[in-house]
């Protein structure tokens, strides 16, 4: 696969909009939301969207903050895995629902589960995480960003 545009070039061409997405991500990291949940959400949305660039980046970032490989390997089957806490499961269900909007609107039971695990401010931060990674996934896929180490 050949990149249509280099990531750095994209960032320079869209300086203000790319900076806005980076700013949202930074704000979420500073919000106090568990960093492991943030990275699990980013990896999960990137799995659903099939974004190799973002998967490469966020799996590495998850490992850097201590996320275990066995959990990362089972993330695509989180529904069936006992490795995730109720809070993480709620975040992953929220991520799946917001990422797969083509399958219908976010179900009430998913919102109820997320609301039971996260207060309003946390859920707003979680939502910001999901929408931001989905935006980055779409940008990276559209321009075929190439992750480091790809031939």
Blockwise average pLDDT, block size 10, the chain, 151 residues:
70 77 88 95 98 95 97 97 98 98 92 98 96 94 80 53
**The pLDDT of residue 19:** 85
pLDDT of 13 reads 67
Q: What is the pLDDT of residue 151?
A: 53
- Given this model, what pLDDT does residue 21 score? 86
Residue 58: predicted pLDDT: 96
Nearest of 128, 126, 108 to residue 117 by alpha carbon? 126
What does the pLDDT read at residue 104?
A: 86
Torsion of CA 135, 147, 34, 75, to 10 degrees: 90
- Domains in the chain and their CATH numbers? 7-142 (1.20.1290.10)
| pLDDT of the residue at 15 | 76
């Amino acid at each position: 696969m050949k990149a249509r545009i280099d990531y750095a070039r994209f960032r320079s061409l869209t300086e203000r909009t790319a900076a806005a997405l980076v700013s949202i991500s930074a704000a979420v990291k500073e919000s106090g939301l568990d960093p492991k949940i943030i990275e699990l959400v980013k990896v999960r949305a990137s799995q659903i969207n099939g974004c190799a660039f973002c998967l490469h980046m966020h799996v590495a970032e998850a490992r850097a903050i201590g996320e275990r490989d066995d959990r990362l390997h089972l993330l695509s089957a989180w529904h069936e895995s006992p490795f995730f806490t109720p809070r993480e499961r709620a975040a992953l269900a929220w991520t799946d629902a917001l990422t797969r909007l083509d399958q219908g609107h976010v179900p009430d039971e998913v919102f109820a589960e997320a609301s039971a695990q996260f207060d309003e401010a946390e859920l707003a931060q979680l939502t910001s995480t999901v929408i931001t990674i989905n935006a980055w996934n779409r940008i990276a896929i559209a321009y075929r960003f190439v992750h480091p180490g790809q031939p």
